[in-house]
Structure 1
Amino acid sequence: MEIRQCENQEQLKQLADLADVIWHEYFVSLLSKEQIDYMVEKFQSYDAIDRAIKEEGYTYFLAYEEQTLIGYMGVKLEEKRLFLSKLYLRKDKRGQGLASILLQKAVDYAIVNGKQSIYLTCNKYNQHSLDVHHRKGFYDIDAVVSDIGHGFVMDDYILQKDL
């Protein structure tokens, strides 16, 4: 697997297209189709990702296998820690250790940038992802329910990994 930073509009379009596919197949057991559609448009669409990069300080890393985009990760440097906003792989690429490689990229990026920890949010009912993060050294630091508009909320745990 090769990891590259998202650097142009074509990569950004491919990222948004992949996000749409991943979200609609992965989150169907956790969220309604309406909420998935809304969240993809609000957080994972071309415009949302472009805005996150240009206005909010996010960096996106793209995972390729044989020149095919198979996953992505979005991070944001904060004062003392790194926010791991997104880390997703295509369904056929999960369970092969590739998410661990992406996570290590986040750790390396945080260390190079002088951060003391990484944190993320994870849906409280996404037990598989919670278990994976706990095995990777993350621990729960808080729980939050965030109103994201249109009558939808994100019901998450906040997890942190110290570096």
Structure 2
Amino acid sequence: MQIRKCQSDEDIQQLAKLANEIWHEYFIDIISFEQIEYMVEKFQSYPALKKAIEEEQYTYFLAFEETELIGYCGVKPEKERLFLSKLYLRKDKRGQGLASYLLKEAIKFAKEQNKQAIYLTCNKYNQHSLDVYHGKGFQDIDAVQTDIGRGFIMDDYILEKVLS
């Protein structure tokens, strides 16, 4: 597996396509189809990802096997912490330890940016991901419900890992 930064318009297009595939497969048991459609368009579509990179200081790391995009993570530097906004792998690549490589890339980036910690939000009903993050040293620090529009709510835990 190779990891590199998202750098081109073609990269963003591939990223949006993979995000759409993953979200419709993974989250269908956690949130409604309508909320998935809305969240993909709002946060994971080509225009949303392009805006995040160009206007909101997001960096995306892309994971490839050969020339095939299999996963990604998105991060955004904040004052003292790095926000891990997204970390996803294609279904057939989960359970092989590959997410750890993306997480290590995010932590390395955080340290390069002199951040004290890395944090994320995770749906309260996404037990598998919560277990993975807890196993990687993240701790629950808060719980939030965020209105994202059109009557949809993100019901999340906030997890943080302090960096040494």
Query: Is TM-score (shorter-chain normalized) higher than 0.5?
Result: yes
CA distance in structure 2 between the aligned counterparts of 1:135 and 1:84, rounded to whole angstroms: 16
Aligned match of 1:8:
8
Structure 1 residue runs of 4 or more that deviate by more than 3 Å after TM superposition: none
CA distance in structure 1 between the aligned counterparts of 2:81 and 2:37, rounded to whole angstroms: 30
Q: TM-score, normalised by structure 2?
A: 0.99
Identity %: 69
Aligned match of 1:53:
53
SS in 2 for 1:133: helix
Aligned match of 1:62:
62
Aligned match of 2:33:
33
Q: Give the Å deviation of 1:79.
A: 1.1
- Give the aligned CA root-mean-square deviation in angstroms: 0.5
CA distance in structure 1 between the aligned counterparts of 2:89 and 2:128, rounded to whole angstroms: 14
Aligned match of 2:18:
18
Unaligned runs of 5+ in 2: none
What is the correspondence of 1:79-98 to structure 2 with a 5 Å cutoff? Answer: 79-98=79-98
Aligned match of 1:109:
109
1:53 partner amino acid: I
CA distance in structure 1 between the aligned counterparts of 2:108 and 2:151, rounded to whole angstroms: 38
Q: Give the Å deviation of 1:129.
A: 0.5
Aligned match of 1:131:
131
* Pair 1:149-2:149 in alignment: yes
Unaligned runs of 5+ in 1: none
2:9 partner amino acid: Q
| Matched positions, count | 163
Q: Give the Å deviation of 1:139.
A: 0.2
2:89 partner amino acid: L
1:63 partner amino acid: A
1:42 partner amino acid: K
CA distance in structure 2 between the aligned counterparts of 1:143 and 1:106, rounded to whole angstroms: 23
CA distance in structure 2 between the aligned counterparts of 1:42 and 1:112, rounded to whole angstroms: 29
2:139 partner amino acid: Y
CA distance in structure 2 between the aligned counterparts of 1:42 and 1:25, rounded to whole angstroms: 18
Q: Give the Å deviation of 1:67.
A: 1.2
Q: TM-score, normalised by structure 1?
A: 0.99
CA distance in structure 2 between the aligned counterparts of 1:69 and 1:127, rounded to whole angstroms: 25
SS in 1 for 2:60: strand
